Chain A
Amino acid sequence: MSRLEAKKPSFCRSEPLTSERVRATLSVLKGIVTSCYGPAGRLKQLHNGLGGSVCTTSQSAALLANLPVTHPILKILTTSVQNHVSCFSDGGLFTAILCCNLVENVQRLGLTPTTVIKLNKQLLSLCTSYLKSEACGCRIPVNFSSTQILLCLVRSILTSKPACMLTTKEIDHISTLILRAFLLIIPENAQDHIILGKSIIVPLKRQRVIDSTVLPGILIEISEVQLMKILPIKKSDSFKVALFCVSLSGDLSDTGEGNVVVSYGVSLENAVLDQLLNLGRQLVSDHVDLVLCQKVIHPSLKQFLRTHHVIAVDRVGVAVMEPLSKVTGTRPIGSLDSISPSSYGSVKDLCTAKFGFKHFFHIIPNEATVCSLLLCNRNDTAWDELKLTCQTALHALQLTIKEPCVLLGGGCTETHLAAYIRHKTRSEPEGILRDDGCTQTELQLITEAFCSALESLAGSLEHDGGEVLTDGKYGHFWSVQADSPSVVNWPDVLSRCGCGLYSSQEELSWSFLRSARPPFVPQTCLPCEATDSAGNLTLDCFTAKLSGLQVAVETANLILDLSYVIEDKN
Chain B
Amino acid sequence: MSHNPQSSDGKHDDDSTLSDFLASLMDYTPTIPDELVEQYLAKSGFQCPDVRLIRLVAVATQKFVAEVASDALQHCKARQDAVVKDKRDKQQRDKRLILTMDDLSKSLREYGVNVKHQEYFADSPSTGIDPASREE
Note whether A and B form a binding pair.
Answer: no
Binding site for A on B (CB under 8 A): none
Q: Which residues of A contact B (CB under 8 A)?
A: none
